[in-house]
A and B are shown apart, each in its own frame.
Chain A
């Protein structure tokens, strides 16, 4: 029989990890910590280089022979093209202010997840190849050669960063590690080194307009399913339009909400709200995706996928665009769309047909976030609301990285929630608003194969949720991001199982008193409303 260690022996085992310098600690691909490599067919669709099937776990990554030249050439090119990139390479003083601000480091404890080290992975190569000091003094100047191992390390850690930008809030020099990650991914993509969770949706989006590759009839079908449920709940039959020319407003939302719970309830919420307002709007089966995983790939790919939104707005001849609850979609729309594919001078400055409010903040892009739109409706008293229908919920709000840090949507969702439900509790101050913790789902997406990584990254967020759960009985985590709705659900399942996840328009639609509706007994999840349980039970 194998000799088992006695407890005393076990307690004496030295568990201290070896003390080696980070540069001398080679990257180790750990189970549940990384995503699958991009499939060749998905890269081919968008004409990306080195399209082939490969596995990050294998020794051989099937790289082109001159891979190093390719990267170094692009590195030099981007340094001269983007001043901020060059600056970020040069000015970090390694003060450490950002070091403990990354959710992956906080929850997982891997030092290479400290933003300063994540950036150093690339900066060290920069020094070696682009600075005199680095060329001469090498390692003592923090410089190192770009080797295959270093490349693998880049892949492992740049596809862990969620580009959440929390670290940048704390940097006295405004260094944005997310930008360094983006650059890292851009280089990796030149070698065909993407993850399939990005490459697949990118290919689908490019061909069919949305992440899953849903075709027009399937999209229509999905929405019709919601209509049946809505009729069940309210007795009202809604008839939305698709690809309708001449509509005043084009509505674009992340496709995730069309097929995965709990996002589906948010989509039902939109339908109910727009119907009640009698909004002159249309869905599009072409611009059928607000999300943009091209943004997680390269600048160029982000731009290509984004172009369909204006193209469709033009084709349909709408006046302006309304966008659903999403995170990174808004970062793209807010900060990139105008320069990429604008100016949208064929559109008008968005004006709410219900309140007359002109959204001056959307003057350039002509696209309004639905949280702004709905908050404005409530402010003007245009909605009849019965918040008691949400009495079974104790709600807290998760600020999504992109809407909070990226574009400052902080008050509108809170204002909406407070008007549609009575029990609202904030999480601790250093975990919300611009200090918000990312949902933690690796690379911003919800792949399943990197689940341990996702749980690590989700820990700081979940820890704050647990606090309001334990202290106030919070049972619903609201947010305005489709990826959050998918990923936080899993994070909650692991860390705080009693807490459910929802979008805010689910809460709005629950509370919305609609003209001609029957007495409601069910919420949007087809569960009994508070006080209506017995009625249901008797049936």
Chain B
């Protein structure tokens, strides 16, 4: 039996543990809510994490393209990037999966000597974890960009009225860009 079969067989259990591990990074009152509220609009964080890790798991297991994984990673990291986490806390959820798989499948992996496959699988997780960090950085940059463009939106029309923009024509288009975002 290959690692893929093992993963497929144990998918439910692994994902449940992965989900719990991520949810436990939140304060306990919050964790209870994130776990128990099933409506995806009442609980966007829980729903995004749950849907995201399910898809990520399948993508890694099936050896699909990382491109596909990117959107799901983005959904999760985009949320954690504005919550109470340090950068490493925000993206470390990918590494949880490694630990859980080792814990859950240790025996079977030992018996079947499928370390090679395991290493390959873990390498994929590492790649995604570093993408997660890139996404995190982009999200934080976006936050600062939004701050700047908000200021620009507020001042653009006023400067325009005061005819100050005629002297800085070159920047006019920049301003406009900020406006239309």
Binding site for B on A (CB under 8 A): 7-8, 10-13, 15-17, 19, 30, 32, 99-100, 105-111, 114, 212, 218, 221-222, 225, 258-261, 264, 428, 430-431, 446, 448-449, 451-452, 455-456, 459-460, 463-464, 467, 486, 489-490, 493-495, 497, 500, 525
| CB<8 Å pairs between A and B, sample of 24 | A7-B98, A7-B126, A12-B99, A99-B29, A100-B43, A105-B33, A109-B30, A109-B34, A110-B84, A114-B29, A221-B161, A225-B157, A260-B154, A261-B156, A261-B179, A430-B42, A448-B147, A452-B82, A459-B45, A486-B150, A489-B181, A493-B142, A493-B145, A493-B146
CA distance A119 to B62 in the complex (A): 49
Interchain CA distance A19-B25 in the complex, whole Å: 12
Which A residues are in CB contact (< 8 Å) with B143? 32, 451-452, 455, 494
B98 contact set on A, CB distance < 8 A: 7-8, 11
Q: How far is the CB of A405 from chain B (nearest CB, A)?
A: 17
Binds A, one of B1-9, B89-97, B109-117: B89-97
Q: Is B149 an interface residue, CB under 8 A from the partner? A: yes
Closest to A448 in B: B147
How far does the Cβ of B48 sit from chain A's closest Cβ, in whole Å?
Answer: 8
What is the CA–CA distance of A500 and B33 in the complex, to the nearest angstrom?
31
- Do the beta carbons of B154 and A451 come within 8 Å of each other? no
Q: Which residues on B sit within 8 Å (CB–CB) of A110? A: 27, 30, 84
**B residues less than 8 Å from A221 (CB atoms):** 161
Q: How far is the CA of A459 from the CA of B92 in the complex (A)?
A: 22
Report B-chain residues with C-beta under 8 Å of the C-beta of A463.
40-41, 44, 48
The answer, yes or no, to whether B67 is at the interface (CB within 8 Å) is no
Interface residues of B in 148-168 (CB under 8 A from A): 149-151, 153-154, 156-158, 160-161
Interface size of B in residues (CB-CB distance below 8 Å): 51
Given contacts A10-B95, A100-B37, A264-B157, contact A525 B180 (CB under 8 A): yes
Are A108 and B84 in contact (CB-based, < 8 A)?
Answer: yes
Shortest Cβ distance from B129 into A: residue = A7
Chain B nearest CB: distance from A107 CB in Å? Answer: 7
* A111 touches which of B29, B39, B129 (Cβ 8 Å): B29
In the complex the two chains form, is A11's CB within 8 Å of B150's CB? no
- Known A-B contacts A10-B88, A106-B44, A109-B83; the reply to A493 vs B25 at CB < 8 A is no
Known contacts being A7-B98, A109-B27, A218-B161, is A451 close to B44, with CB within 8 Å?
no
A225–B27 Cα distance when bound, in Å, is 52
Q: How far, in Å, is A245 (CB) from chain B's closest CB?
A: 27
In the bound complex, how far is the Cα of B89 from the Cα of A52, in angstroms?
39
Give 9 new A-B contacts, CB below 8 A, not counting A10-B88, A12-B99: A13-B92, A107-B45, A110-B30, A258-B157, A431-B41, A467-B41, A493-B142, A500-B181, A525-B180
| Contact (Cβ within 8 A) B26 A109 | yes
CB-CB under 8 A for A111 and B27, given A261-B179, A451-B147? yes
B41 contacts A430, C-beta separation under 8 Å: yes
Hey, which chain B residues are within 8 Å of A460, CB to CB? 41, 44
Distance between Cα atoms of A100 and B64 in the complex (Å): 37
Q: Is B59 an interface residue (CB 8 A)?
A: no
**How long is the Cα–Cα vector from A221 to B164 in the complex, in angstroms?**
14
Instruction: Determine how close the nearest CB of chain A comes to the CB of B37; give it in whole angstroms.
Output: 6
Please tell me if the beta carbons of A15 and B42 are within 8 angstroms of each other in the complex: no
Question: B99: nearest residue on chain A (CB-CB)?
Answer: A11
B17 within 8 A of A: no
- Whether A15 touches B156, Cβ cut-off 8 Å, given contacts A7-B129, A451-B146, is no
Q: Name B85's closest neighbour in chain A (CB-CB).
A: A15
Q: In the complex, what's the smallest C-beta–C-beta distance from A469 to chain B, in angstroms?
A: 13
Q: Is the CB of B96 within 8 A of A448?
A: no
Q: Residue of B at shortest CB range from A256?
A: B154
